[in-house]
Amino acid sequence: MQGESLIVRDLEIVATPDGGEERSIVSRIGFSLEPGEVLALIGESGSGKTTIALAMLGYARRGCRIAGGSVRLGETEVLSLSPVATRALRGHRVAYIAQSAAAAFNPSRSLMDQVIEAALLHKVMDRRTARDKAIGLFRDLALPDPEHIGERYPHQVSGGQLQRVMAAMALLTDPALVILDEPTTALDVTTQVEVLLAFKRVMRERGTTAIYVSHDLTVVAQMADQVLVLNGGCEQEQGRIEEILERPRHAYTRSLLAATRPPRLADSMPAAAGQPLLEVERLDVGYGKPNRDGEPSAMVLRGIDLTLHAGRSIGVIGESGSGKSTLARAVAGLIAPCHGSVQFDGTPLSPTLRGRTPDQFRRIQMAFQSADNALNPAHSVRRLLGRPLETYFHLDRAERRRRIDELMALVKLPTGLLDRKPGELSGGQKQRVNLARCLAAKPDLILCDEVTSALDTVVGAAILELLAELRQELGVAYLFISHDISTVRALCDDVMVLYHGECVEFGSCEAVLEAPRHDYTRKLIGSVPELRPGWLENRTLALAEAPA
């Protein structure tokens, strides 16, 4: 209906780091889109995806400059517009949907006010028409209670709903081009499918031309007509989505494809008999003040049973808010359970940190999700790795140095990084340091809390491989928390499915994932996008046909 063609030629973007020389971050990018087509920009973080997408708005981030090239949208040459004309373009003819809807909305204004703001600013329609149109879009995007959802505030709707409201905001002015910047990366798989479906239907109906930025090939396969694979600001490969998936020519594209579905990395260990390493019995955990019965006001986990033998790994999956992390924190002693017991190697663990022995501290290590927050930005890598050696083993300086070198070799990092601070490391390197710090304690159990979810697919796959190797070499056991079924499948022997704080299914990895018994497990598995175009539509058809 209103999509326009987009032709980009020789786009060059340079950045000037503080005190440094100008350097190119995007070079010689070109593509062309017919009206109504969707182009996916795919690549790992830092590959220039978002920078290119923002250039379609004639915008470059602070410290960056569009050095040359042309962006032609319909009849308009975007890059040569005056600042006033560029402002008229943004939010009207070109709209942008950001990754984190929660951060993009102003929490103190109602959703409707923000959705129609751009339309009112550009004076394309009056308030009443804008409201009616927004309600129509809410309905099309399958938002609940479309008539009144606009009166709510951002914190009163869920993350997936907020992302759809943002789509409504972008589509309200009937833009010629929509830029979607990783719109579903922050969502759970089950929510992601709903949001993708809503996006796809609305965009198809309106014939919107779109650029879809993502690092997830399976999502791209559902959404895009064309794909542009980026690495380090340069084009690696470009073509129709089917071609890229079936006949990837470039090595980088192949590694992306391979990383999407990591193969089974660990041989299943024989179910060890004897003393279990970790035994959790009828564990109840909650937050908040205890009420009259001694139960906290908000219960997160109820009646969790778990047995983990040395050298084995259990995957815990579930959506956000299902209590996955709380389970790990309860085992680590960061939150005291209100009922139930945790036994470690035959001795009961104290519910809080206070009652635990130094040896228990050493043997249970926790690897947090985001290495950014888990590594103290003020400490060098040497210090980060040295401190556990100091506290647990009281090693002297020479011994420490030797052991640190060993650890760095174990996680495959060059020793040249030892004097850097975490801020000077890449995401993957940080996660390796994070693991090395856990390994420094020579632990028997590592609680891995979403260790790969903040990483790009390729980097995440490498970390998974490392985890599998370490398990083989050192015989550590993992409690592996993830929302990504493919990582659990690749690494774990057993799997536990959590749903609203209760364990709905527990069993060996193959049994649960191949033949799920519980409805929620089926939904969870069915929501993982497959690497083929059309999966999204077929899935919906299959769901519609299935008896309710």
Partner 1 sequence: MNSLKTMPHPKANTPQRLRHGSHLPVGAPRRRNRRRLQLTRWIGLGVFGFWILVALFGPLLAPHPMGAFVSDQMFGGISAAYPLGTDYMGRDMLSRILTGARYTVGLALVAACLSSLIGAGFGMLSVLLPKWLEESVRRVFDTLISIPSKMMALVMVSAFGASIPLLITATVLSYAPGAFRIAHSLATNLATMEYVQVAHTRGEGRLYIAAREIFPNMIQSVLTDMGMRFVFIVLLLSGMSFLGLGVQPPAADLGSLVRENIGGLSQGAIAVIAPALAIGTLTIGANLLIDSLSTSRATQKE
The Cα 144–Cα 161 span in angstroms is: 9
Contact (CB, 8 A) for 334 and 326: no
Residue 19 within binding range of partner 1, rule CB under 8 A: yes
Contacts of residue 85, Cβ cutoff 8 Å, sequence gap at least 6: none
The Cα 162–Cα 515 span in angstroms is: 33
Closest approach of Cβ 376 to partner 1, in Å? 4
Contact (CB, 8 A) for 94 and 73: yes
Among 170, 193, 217, 364, binds partner 1 (CB under 8 A): 364
SS3 state at 296 = strand
Residue 82 within binding range of partner 1, rule CB under 8 A: yes
Encoded one letter per residue, x for contact with partner 1 by CB under 8 A and - for no contact, window 392-421 reads x-----------------------------
Among 42, 56, 223, 366, binds partner 1 (CB under 8 A): 366
Closest approach of Cβ 20 to partner 1, in Å? 10
Of 59 and 153, which CB lies nearer to partner 1 in the complex structure?
59
Residue 79 within binding range of partner 1, rule CB under 8 A: yes
Applying CB under 8 A, the span of 166-174, 191-199, 357-365, 500-508 interacting with partner 1 comes to 357-365
Tokens of 239: 């073509």
Among 23, 32, 34, 77, binds partner 1 (CB under 8 A): 77
Residue 61 within binding range of partner 1, rule CB under 8 A: yes
- How distant, in Å, are the alpha carbons of 298, 324, 327, 499, 501 from that of 321? 12, 8, 11, 9, 8
Closest approach of Cβ 6 to partner 1, in Å? 18
Closest approach of Cβ 371 to partner 1, in Å? 9
Residue 500 burial (CB < 10 Å; 0-12/13-18/19+)? middle
The Cα 249–Cα 237 span in angstroms is: 8
Among 98, 332, 466, 485, binds partner 1 (CB under 8 A): 332
Residues 227, 230, 233, 235, CA torsion sign:
negative
Q: Edge-to-edge, what's the strand order for the sheet holding 38-42?
A: 94-97, 177-181, 209-214, 38-42, 226-231, 234-240
Residue 164 within binding range of partner 1, rule CB under 8 A: no
- Window 194 to 213, contacts with partner 1 (CB under 8 A): none
Residue 374 within binding range of partner 1, rule CB under 8 A: yes
Residue 379 within binding range of partner 1, rule CB under 8 A: yes
SS3 state at 334 = coil
Exposure letters 205-223 (e unless 16+ CB within 10 A, then b)? ebebbbbbbbbbbbbbbbb
Of 228 and 446, which CB lies nearer to partner 1 in the complex structure?
446
Of 425 and 513, which CB lies nearer to partner 1 in the complex structure?
425
Tell me which residues touch partner 1 (CB under 8 A): 16, 18-19, 58-68, 70, 77, 79-83, 86, 332-334, 353, 356, 358, 361, 364-366, 368, 370, 373-379, 387-388, 391-392, 437, 441
